[in-house]
Amino acid sequence: MYVSPSLSQGEMVNTLKAFNIRDDKVKNLNIFLCGPIGAGKSSIINTINSILEGQISVGYQGCLDSSVSQTLQFHERQVGNAKDGFLHLVLNDTMGLEIDQSNGVHTDDIITALKGHIKEGYKFDPQTPIDENSTYYRENPSLSDRMHCLVYVIPADKISLMDEFFQKLKTIRDAAYEMGESELEE
């Protein structure tokens, strides 16, 4: 799906509403938002839903000035609303990444979520990633459970301070590439 930047907001919304997935095995396109604490992941979700609802939507409370993640659980947010209908898009929100592995979302949790193993409501533990015995661990994720798009949300005002953070993103990117290659081999 290509959305031209020259379209008006109404035209873009109509294009998104007309979006359909061509694979019957996939119910929704899962978009995974990943970035540091305070980057604006939850705000992006709220903004998209505000545009589609035609009014301010604050489904998730983020805090751009916080040094502590406001999102503590894995959230799957369907795009749209009950009145006008939901799109075939799900935005997945997570706890923010931090340079120190003992704080913020664990890199292994992000990779596990990309593969579709983490269920809605899982509470992140910066010290310990999810294990296969958790009730929030999905043992055999379907293609519909997996993440189809990984979006990095990076605060532009802090980019020069993020060298160590980019190493974490590289680890996540490499795991995502490996997932794509294994899909091609199946």
- Residue 86's pLDDT is 84
- Residue 160's pLDDT is 73
* In the chain, beta strands by DSSP E: 29-34, 75-81, 85-93, 149-152
DSSP tag of 160: G
pTM: 0.81
- The CATH architecture that domain 26-55+68-180 belongs to is 3-Layer(aba) Sandwich (3.40)
Residues 28-58: tens digit of each pLDDT = 999 999 988 888 888 888 888 888 777 676 6
Is residue 127 packed enough to be buried (19+ CB in 10 Å), middle (13-18) or exposed (0-12)?
exposed
Report the percentage of the chain scoring pLDDT > 70.
85
Residues 84-133: tens digit of each pLDDT = 778 899 999 999 888 777 788 999 999 999 999 999 999 999 999 999 99
| 61 compared with 108, residue with greater pLDDT | 108
Residue with tokens 């605060």: 155
DSSP tag of 118: B
186, pLDDT greater than 50: no
* Token code pair at residue 85: 């209908």
- Residue 33's pLDDT is 94
Other CB atoms within a 10 A radius of the CB of residue 172 amount to 19
Give domain limits for the chain. 26-55+68-180
Among the listed residues 17, 93, 5, the one whose alpha carbon sits nearest the alpha carbon of residue 54: 17
pLDDT band at residue 184 using 50, 70 and 90 as cut-offs: very low
- Residue 92's pLDDT is 94
Q: Which of 6-15, 41-50, 136-145 has the lowest mean pLDDT?
A: 6-15
Among the listed residues 118, 170, 160, the one whose alpha carbon sits nearest the alpha carbon of residue 139: 118
Among the listed residues 78, 84, 83, 47, the one whose alpha carbon sits nearest the alpha carbon of residue 62: 47
